[in-house]
Amino acid sequence: MPNEPSPLRRRLALGLAGTTVLPALAACVAPAPPRVLSVGALFAGRIDDRGFMEAGWRGLERARTELGVATRHVAGVEPKRPLLAEALAGLAASGVDLVLAHGGQNNEACAEVAARTPGTRFVVVQGAVTGPNLASYEVLQEESAYLGGVLAALSTRTGTVGHLSGIRVRPGLKGRAAFAAGVAATDPKVRVLTTFCGNQDDAALARRVALAQMAAGADIVFTMLNAGRGGVTEACRERGTRQIGNVVDWVRTDPQVYLASAIADVSITVFQAIRDGRDGAFPAGAIRRVGLADPQAVRLSMAAEVPDAVRARVQRAAADIEAGRIRVPEAYEGPEFPIPA
What does DSSP say about strands 258-264 and 242-247: parallel, antiparallel, or unpaired? parallel
Angle between helices 308-323 and 141-155 (to 10 degrees): 150
> Which residue segments constitute the domains of the chain, with CATH numbers given?
38-139+267-290 (3.40.50.2300), 141-264+307-323 (3.40.50.2300)
H/E element holding 322?
A: helix 308-323
Q: What is the pLDDT of residue 13?
A: 40
pLDDT tens-place values along the chain, 341 residues long: 444 444 434 443 434 344 444 444 444 555 655 679 999 999 999 999 989 999 999 999 999 999 999 999 999 999 999 999 999 999 999 999 999 999 999 999 999 999 999 999 999 999 999 999 999 999 999 999 999 999 999 999 999 999 999 999 999 999 999 999 999 999 999 999 999 999 999 999 999 999 999 999 999 999 999 999 999 999 999 999 999 999 999 999 999 999 999 999 999 999 999 999 999 999 999 999 999 999 999 999 999 999 999 999 999 999 999 999 999 999 999 999 999 98
* DSSP, res 306: S
DSSP symbols for 12-65: HHHHHHHHHHHHHHHHHTPPPPPPPPEEEEEESS-TTSSSHHHHHHHHHHHHHH
Phi and psi at 228, nearest 5°, equal -65, -20
Q: What is the pLDDT of residue 180?
A: 99
> Can you name the residues that pair with 137 across neighbouring β-strands?
125, 288
**The predicted structure's pLDDT at residue 28:** 54
Say if residues 41 and 76 touch (Cβ distance below 8 Å): no
Torsion sign (Cα): 192, 165, 53, 128:
positive
Backbone angles phi, psi at 82, to 5 degrees: -60, -40
